[in-house]
Amino acid sequence: MKTTILVAAFAALAAAVPSVNINRADRYSAHHQKRAPVFKDLTYNELSISGGTSGQAAAEAEAKLAGLPTDLTAIDKADLTFLNSVNQIANDAEIGAFNQQIVAVGVGEEALALQRGKVKNKVLKLTATVKKLTAQQAQGKNVTEKLDAETVKLNKNIALDVKDAGLASTLVEFDANTKDPEASNVEKNAELADQAIKIIEQSGGVA
């Protein structure tokens, strides 16, 4: 008697399963809801896209930060932390590496090539930031204002990169790691930033 009931129950279950109709997209998102991190910690030099030539920074930054789930709600918290670390160390490099080098070399083509590397570094930094904020927005945090502001900055730097397409850009090495972004913390230096801008303008570039 009991066996008959069990068999009947299994038969009913088996009949019910196909009607549940789990489509591929649902299964994909269910899988990613497990939220496994995608990124591994990297050094700044491994992440840098500043070398080579200008013109492809947007794609180069995308390639460095590729692999996140298309379902933004499924992005792991560790990956948001990684993206934030990329922003931090690229920002440190801007001050501690690029601005410092531009001021050190002075007016001329060398400074302009460093500036092009700095712009690519900004594209990397802002791509990380926009990815992080877009994910946070999808996950229910209201970051609209910041996301809009950072997107404007990103687009501005992508345009600067495209304007100089094909020209040499200089990579500046910088000792930093996403694992411990605080270790490479560089104080904001407005005076150095202003000096760097003046040098670029006097070199005939746009800063």
Residues that bind ligand NAG (CB under 6 A): 142, 144-145
| Closer Cβ to ligand NAG, 35 or 146, answer by number | 146
| Closer Cβ to ligand NAG, 145 or 191, answer by number | 145
Smallest gap from residue 133 Cβ to ligand NAG (A): 12
Smallest gap from residue 155 Cβ to ligand NAG (A): 20
Smallest gap from residue 23 Cβ to ligand NAG (A): 30
Alpha helices in the chain (DSSP H): 2-20, 24-32, 44-47, 57-64, 77-93, 100-105, 109-138, 144-163, 190-202
132, containing H or E segment = helix 109-138
| Closer Cβ to ligand NAG, 11 or 138, answer by number | 138
Smallest gap from residue 134 Cβ to ligand NAG (A): 15
**Backbone angle region of 20, left / alpha / beta, with phi > 0 → left and psi within -120 to 50 → alpha:** alpha
Between CA 153 and CA 187 the distance in angstroms is: 21
CA 112 to chain centre: 24
| Closer Cβ to ligand NAG, 29 or 137, answer by number | 137
Three-state SS for 99?
A: helix
Which single residue is written with the structure tokens 């560790």?
Answer: 78
| Closer Cβ to ligand NAG, 23 or 142, answer by number | 142
> Could you tell me if 131 and 83 are in contact, meaning their C-beta atoms sit under 8 angstroms apart?
yes
Smallest gap from residue 185 Cβ to ligand NAG (A): 28
